[in-house]
Structure 1
Amino acid sequence: MELMLKLLTGGAGSLAAYLAAHVLLCLLPAFFIAGAMAALIPKASITRWLGRSTPAYVSYPAAAAAGSLLAVCSCTIVPLFAGIYRKGAGIGPAMTFLFFAPAGNIMALAYTGSILGPEFAVARVVFCLMFGIGIGILMALVFWRDDASHDAQTDTLFAAQASIAPAALGVLLSLVALLIAGTLKLWPLTTTVGTFTLPLPWAMAWQDTLFGWVPFDAAKGEEGVSFQGSVLIGLLLLISATAWKGMEDIIEGANHWTWVALGLAATTLLVAALRLTPVPDGLEIALTGRAFGVALSLGAVWFYARQLPADDWRSWLWEAWRFVKQIFLVLVIGVFVVGMVRQLIRPEWIESLAGSNTVLANLVAVGFGVFMYFPTLVEVPVARMFLDLGMHPGPLLAYLMADPELSLQSMLMVAAVIGRTKTAAYVGWVAVFSVCAGLIFGAWVDGAGWTSLALPLGLCLAGLAVALAWLRRRQRQVVTA
């Protein structure tokens, strides 16, 4: 009974901390972006760069380049992946985008270099690029029949759209700006412009209560629920209640619950962009550059959304709501389960098992990335901790490759979009390539010469070239048919 209570408490604490810290400035804009891509962007605009018939030398680098600009976690990227896939992107480029964005984005690479050293950053970008494209090509080859069927379905759904309207483009770019303003940890977004204090003497007591309810160890990358987090969770619950009444029949027209839900969503994003800190005499509220960036982005979204025809903005909101219903529940379940499993895994086990560069050690590191999920960029200081405690650099790189990709909740979300068979194949490829990356990098760290490393790297590149040639042959056959 005590163990079960510990597991349930761990799951609930993990879920509360996740919702308080990550859903709002990351996932809320991501769902709206996914809805906009599905409803407002013509299929031709997606397939021109990421379509299954687009030359591979165009589509796969384009997918990786798009992913490199988004400093998002494995959960936030799924709605964006779902948006481009539903709109007609080929399964290969879409999977490359899904793989590269969490692990190979510019912020992750810069942070990796500053905390772990430039050799880790270089290895991470090289392997992410090579294996991300490789996984995409393999997925396109294995599931080419399903990909062709999916392409035909998107033709049926979106054939009527010919070009993107200026207002629709403005909405999409404003939403991307909102996502960037809410997630990037760069000056001037993080700078404090001004502060003021609200006379709330109970704020510190409430913060202490929250820490008692959801204990955490910051040294292990865990997060508690702050005062601000509790406010955001409350707002999120209000959004859930009002959105169900306001979005379920949005195609038939908006009602007052629709505007309440949208107003709450905007308010929540603004509150999340502030910095709320309990102090002895009340609650200190810091106005940050992020708050101004979020406010300006929201204003731009509203400005362009008002110019959309009624059918377009209704379709946009419906698609966003459809993605929420499809993905959010499995996300919640996944985070809860991860929190439970996390209570059973001891970090010292990982350290002892991953102290050398073996296949088992790299597999353990990959498994650790699955069940010990950390939000975007937090995996880097956690990796620093394990490096200091004796984890071998090879398994450490395998962990850095797998953690942003294979969190349990993200796997459940991806399965809801593309099905369990494709998800299982993707997970398998990511695990295999992560282990290979760890073994190769670990061998280099242990002093292996470039000549001995040339063989596995050459085999990887040769396999990639063969797969690419096979894919181009398939594409030509489809075109001639």
Structure 2
Amino acid sequence: MNLPSSITDLLHAGLGNLASYLAAHVLLCLLPAFYIAGAMTALIPKETVTRFLGRNTPKYISYPASALAGFLLAVCSCTVIPLFAGIYKKGAGLGPAVTFLFVAPAINILALVYTGGVIGMDLAIARLVLSLAFGIGIGIIMALLFQRADAEHDAATDAMFAGQAAMRRSSVIFLLLLVALLIAGTFQFDFLKHSYAEITLPIRGMDGFQDYLYRLVPFDPSRGEEGVTAQGAILIGMLALIGLASWKGIENIFDGFNIWTWISTALVGLTLLIAALGMTPHPNGLTISITGKFLGVSLSVIALAWMLKKKLTEDETRDFLWESWKFVKQIFPLLIVGVFIVGIIRELIRPEWIEALAGQNTLPGNFIGVVFGVFMYFPTLVEVPIAQMFLQLGMHRGPLLAYLISDPELSLQSILITAAIIGRFKAWVYVAWVALFSTLAGLIYGSWMDGTGMGLVILYLVSFISLLSGALWLVSRRNSQKIMVAH
């Protein structure tokens, strides 16, 4: 074994994974998500959030509301993190916020439909039902375990956002336009993917540049890997410019706006438009495709720019840009580290291990499915063909479901970022519960697939829930007594 060569290969795998991720997934997913999180923090009064997601809101309102919000947004595990941070910072209870964090990527409607078509509707239904039930369950568990910390967080947000005025109509429209931007950029509807016009620019050498990038960052589509396109390389460069301009224009925004503030904002809009275009290099030049996605993003960007200039007050604009930038600084570095490490670990994992470790519906086999979900993160929808590959390599359908539930929840970068938002201890407790419930989901579904009667499967599930409920009741009672003594 050539150690220097092996280290070089691993570093290359990590950097390649990072480059392809930045090129393909950051702009139309994460940038709008950061802005939505910033807008929620800056523009939405705490009372609006806590009315539906607060720790004191009745559970029959807060948990279904958070699950419904997650279901409707249909975002991946990285995109949901800024949104989770936004609602949690604004006063959402830990339980409903965690339910939102779990449900949004787990029961992504696009992934469910794709799962049903590629692997089987039985697995898609199991993924939907168990993810929804376990997402609400994990949220309730986290709220019970951390009652005191949740109360302190609620009091802190009371102090932070005291006296905030009611939300203006223009702020509501601005937030909805940001959501529309996210939808236009990420949803895979046919009318958004369709090309309505094409323009060929006589730019020579783009095909050679594309080939060079493919050699520089080799990839295997069968393993869910993505290369860096010429368009992706341009977008990475634009992303660097946005970071530099934002540092100069937003970092000290409370000292006043400057030219860099508006340059950074304009660069974001321009970059989103470039990302929404279709670009095809060929020997005769570069073909630009005007897609439905580009039209939707263009309309959203124009409307947002007009709202920013004409309808938001100077204070609202400043707070919105500052809060968005704060989320970027908090989350983006951890995301980069996590994606880089995942690229290295993915290089080490061999597909032939799958049949040996997860070929049967056992407790270790399902746990291995969860581990694969942590270290073999793939973007939304990509996990489905990867799951199909696992199935073809001999993975049992039980561990396969455990993988599909844990993959959107427990990617390494998501764990790191969640820890930065709610604290390391809470984050690792959340990880443990997700791992436990994902393993349990795989065991239940796998047992049913192996011929165990539905009645017996339900009995196992009810017994587990009963034991868990009893233990949580004792924990809740003990926490309540501690809080009463403290007061």
* Interval containing the TM-score (normalised by the shorter chain): over 0.9
CA offset at residue 458 of structure 1? 1.3
Q: Could you say which residue in structure 2 is the equivalent of 1:390?
A: 394
SS in structure 2 of the partner of residue 201 of structure 1: coil
Q: Could you say which residue in structure 1 is the equivalent of 2:454?
A: 450
Q: What is the aligned residue count?
A: 480
SS in structure 2 of the partner of residue 189 of structure 1: helix
Higher alpha-carbon deviation: 156-165 or 441-450: 156-165
Provide the C-alpha distance between the structure 2 equivalents of 1:108 and 1:304, rounded to a whole number of angstroms: 33
**Given that residues 138 and 467 in structure 1 are in contact (C-alpha distance below 8 angstroms), is that contact kept between their aligned partners in structure 2?**
no
CA offset at residue 466 of structure 1? 5.7
Match of 1:129 among 127, 132, 143: 132
SS in structure 1 of the partner of residue 288 of structure 2: strand
CA offset at residue 348 of structure 1? 1.3
Match of 1:197 among 192, 196, 200: 200
RMSD after superposition: 1.9
Q: Could you say which residue in structure 2 is the equivalent of 1:312?
A: 316
Unaligned runs of 5+ in 2: none
Correspondence 1:348 to 2:360 = no
Provide the C-alpha distance between the structure 2 equivalents of 1:245 and 1:198, rounded to a whole number of angstroms: 34
CA offset at residue 305 of structure 1? 2.1
Match for 2:318: what amino acid? R
Q: 1:468 to 1:63 in 2, by over 3 A?
A: farther
Provide the C-alpha distance between the structure 2 equivalents of 1:433 and 1:272, rounded to a whole number of angstroms: 37
Q: Could you say which residue in structure 1 is the equivalent of 2:150?
A: 147
Correspondence 1:83 to 2:110 = no
Q: TM-score, normalised by structure 2?
A: 0.95
Correspondence 1:360 to 2:360 = no
Q: Could you say which residue in structure 1 is the equivalent of 2:269?
A: 266
Provide the C-alpha distance between the structure 2 equivalents of 1:314 and 1:464, rounded to a whole number of angstroms: 47
Q: Could you say which residue in structure 1 is the equivalent of 2:281?
A: 278
Provide the C-alpha distance between the structure 1 equivalents of 2:480 and 2:297, rounded to a whole number of angstroms: 43
Match for 2:105: what amino acid? P
Match of 2:419 among 415, 425, 430: 415
Correspondence 1:232 to 2:235 = yes
Correspondence 1:376 to 2:380 = yes
Provide the C-alpha distance between the structure 2 equivalents of 1:469 and 1:369, rounded to a whole number of angstroms: 31
Q: Could you say which residue in structure 1 is the equivalent of 2:217?
A: 214
CA offset at residue 475 of structure 1? 9.3
CA offset at residue 252 of structure 1? 2.4
Match for 1:275: what amino acid? G
Provide the C-alpha distance between the structure 2 equivalents of 1:35 and 1:460, rounded to a whole number of angstroms: 40
Match of 2:59 among 43, 56, 60: 56
**Given that residues 167 and 305 in structure 1 are in contact (C-alpha distance below 8 angstroms), is that contact kept between their aligned partners in structure 2?**
no
Match for 1:395: what amino acid? P
Match for 1:94: what amino acid? A
Match for 1:425: what amino acid? V
Runs of 4+ in 1 over 3 A off after TM superposition: 460-479
**Given that residues 144 and 476 in structure 2 are in contact (C-alpha distance below 8 angstroms), is that contact kept between their aligned partners in structure 1?**
no
**Superposition pairs of residues 394-409 of structure 1, within 5 angstroms:** 394-409=398-413
Unaligned runs of 5+ in 1: none
Q: TM-score, normalised by structure 1?
A: 0.97
What is the percentage of aligned positions where both structures have the same residue?
57
Correspondence 1:175 to 2:178 = yes
Provide the C-alpha distance between the structure 1 equivalents of 2:483 and 2:33, rounded to a whole number of angstroms: 33
**Given that residues 144 and 472 in structure 2 are in contact (C-alpha distance below 8 angstroms), is that contact kept between their aligned partners in structure 1?**
no
Provide the C-alpha distance between the structure 1 equivalents of 2:278 and 2:297, rounded to a whole number of angstroms: 13
Deviations, residues 410-458 of structure 1 (Å, cap 9, x unaligned): 1111111111001000000000000000000000000110121021221
SS in structure 1 of the partner of residue 191 of structure 2: coil
Deviations, residues 223-272 of structure 1 (Å, cap 9, x unaligned): 01011101100100111111100110112221101111111100110111
SS in structure 1 of the partner of residue 352 of structure 2: helix
Match of 2:14 among 11, 14, 17: 11
CA offset at residue 312 of structure 1? 1.1
